Amino acid sequence: MQITSVGHAGFHIRTAAGSILCDPWVNPAYFASWFPFPDNTQLDWDELGNCDFLYVSHLHRDHFDAKNLAEHVNKDATVLLPDYPVPDLKRELEKLGFHKFFETEDSVKHTISANGAEIDIMIIALRAPADGPIGDSGLVVSDGETTCFNMNDARPVDMDVLHDAFGHVDIHLLQYSGAIWYPMVYDIPSRTKSNFGKQKRQRGMDRCRSYIEQVGATWVVPSAGPPVFLDDELRYLNDDHGDEGNIFPDQMVFLEQMRIHGNEGGILMIPGSVADVRGAELELTHPFEPGLIYDNKAEYIELMAQRLAPVLAAEKQTWATGEGPLLEPLKALFEPIMAQSDLICDGIGYPVGLVIGDETVVLDFPKRVVRGPIDGEGKYRYGFRIAPELVRTVLRDNEPDWVNTIFLSTRFQAWRIGGYNEFLYTFFKCLTDERIAYADGWFAEAHDDSASTELAGWEVQRRCPHLKADLSKFGVVEGNTLTCNLHGWQWDLESGRCKTSKGHELRSRKLS
């Protein structure tokens, strides 16, 4: 099997039964905030796009690059489609002209063929509201000699399905770096922000190592991030100035972490690197010396910013302009969604302030209305300050998901009193009838907490109250606090109270 990195979470996998192009991202995403790092614009995208199969793991813009897919990828390629409850990914691909779909079943091994040969594949589909834009996935490919698990940024809760279906994994490609706006956009003192950033940075790498241990592959390729921020106002987000609170560590940092923890199987792949893998044997070639990127990363980024400045400027030209208040269009967008999502609105529980230029619009979730501010209302418990052109653009484009547009851009500020509110971000990513119905129903389903596990002298429910991660694998106890490393949520073991978000109580008992 020959695996070529095409940048970020993108890979081209060549097998006897044809080639699979995965997550080919090259154009800037999220209001031109994110660019692929290292630069992958020099690759031959027509050649890469001439593939037999296409796999797009999910709809986040650093995985689903509509422009690249439209311009360079063979529309007769068979799409290996994850098994998602809401069919948005398939619809978006159909709009681009793809017409052959191999609809997989979640976590089931399938055989596909091309060129007279066969390979086995399996797509693990994550379907919780917190997983990507309602859906994230990982792809397993096996040609009988080599098994590759391209997990990208998916967070499967159960690795048994992988081992039961494929046995040993030879090469594991996965995310280790941050891909979120927290804590950078929050209005909090800089020292607190830096401490939160440090925790976030370390937790992301710890989670990755936990997955690496569970999968037990011979070779590991850190992938799917970090992006690079080339806009002057966002350049501080790059991990190129020794800031320990930066949540975007690069491949070199993570490979070092692996070595510190005794794992020598880490492989650096940059765009154009080729790994020829035959079971446990791997031969690696790079298109050029990677030191040219990492030895002086700040300079590399500066040159990249100069080179891609016209691309950034052109993207900004596409943002909507306009005048006039936004209350009415936002009312028309949000109120019908509020009316369909009792559980989510109650979970948010407070009015949320959107400060858009000079205008403040209040999403009054308890009352299910969108309105102007009321005198004496004071500071909103949750709030966002967003530039009007971004809001006008998502309204113009009928975007169903503000996470996949505004929030991941990091081009906003936020504040909150109290912990993270999962319901709030779920609401913003479910701005269609179909999505909100699915998400509200998902929260309504009772979660099974009948099984238990023992951790450091405590008996706790086996499945994490957040998204059912196996706490015997992801749970870490320090003092009376349990941390689930899958998303870093924490519980007080004495009371079972979730310290991270409202609700989500944990069943726990001290063993004598």
Strand order in the sheet with 359-364: 369-371, 359-364, 351-356, 382-386, 412-416
Contacts of 179 (CB under 8 A, 6+ apart): 62, 153, 224, 225, 226, 227, 408
Q: Three-state SS across 287-317?
A: CCCCHHHHCCHHHHHHHHHHHHHHHHHHHHH
Q: What are phi and psi of 423, to 5 degrees?
A: -65, -35
Binding status of residue 127 toward ligand FES by CB under 6 A: no
Nearer to ligand FES, 105 or 454 (CB): 454
Q: In Å, how far are 97, 152, 269, 359 from 384, measured between CA atoms?
A: 37, 29, 38, 12
Applying the rule CB under 6 A, the residues between 446 and 465 that interact with ligand FES are 464
Among 127, 429, 462, 466, interactor with ligand FES by CB under 6 A = 466
| Cβ at position 233, least distance to ligand FES in Å | 32
| Cβ at position 343, least distance to ligand FES in Å | 18
Binding status of residue 469 toward ligand FES by CB under 6 A: yes
Binding status of residue 64 toward ligand FES by CB under 6 A: no
Of 104, 106, 87, 103, residue with least CA distance to 158: 106
Nearer to ligand FES, 63 or 487 (CB): 487
Binding status of residue 128 toward ligand FES by CB under 6 A: no
Nearer to ligand FES, 65 or 131 (CB): 131
Classify residue 168 by its DSSP letter: S
Nearer to ligand FES, 38 or 129 (CB): 129
| Distance separating alpha carbons of residues 179 and 176, to the nearest angstrom | 9
Binding status of residue 423 toward ligand FES by CB under 6 A: no
Q: Please count the other Cβ atoms lying within 10 Å of the Cβ belonging to residue 255.
A: 20
| Distance separating alpha carbons of residues 295 and 308, to the nearest angstrom | 21
| Cβ at position 471, least distance to ligand FES in Å | 7
Q: In Å, how far are 16, 222, 265 from 212, measured between CA atoms?
A: 27, 10, 10
| Distance separating alpha carbons of residues 18 and 261, to the nearest angstrom | 37
Q: Please count the other Cβ atoms lying within 10 Å of the Cβ belonging to residue 58.
A: 26
Binding status of residue 416 toward ligand FES by CB under 6 A: no
| Cβ at position 401, least distance to ligand FES in Å | 20
Nearer to ligand FES, 205 or 464 (CB): 464
| Cβ at position 188, least distance to ligand FES in Å | 22
Among 205, 363, 467, 506, interactor with ligand FES by CB under 6 A = 467
Contacts of 189 (CB under 8 A, 6+ apart): none
Nearer to ligand FES, 329 or 496 (CB): 496
| Cβ at position 508, least distance to ligand FES in Å | 14
Binding status of residue 60 toward ligand FES by CB under 6 A: no
Binding status of residue 504 toward ligand FES by CB under 6 A: no
Binding status of residue 484 toward ligand FES by CB under 6 A: yes
Nearer to ligand FES, 356 or 467 (CB): 467
Sequence letter at residue 438 = Y
Q: Say whether 19 sits in a helix, a strand or coil.
A: strand
Binding status of residue 77 toward ligand FES by CB under 6 A: no
| Cβ at position 350, least distance to ligand FES in Å | 23
| Cβ at position 128, least distance to ligand FES in Å | 9
User: First and final CA of the chain: distance in angstroms?
Assistant: 53
Nearer to ligand FES, 34 or 181 (CB): 181
Chain residues binding ligand FES by CB under 6 A are: 464, 466-467, 469, 484, 486-487, 489
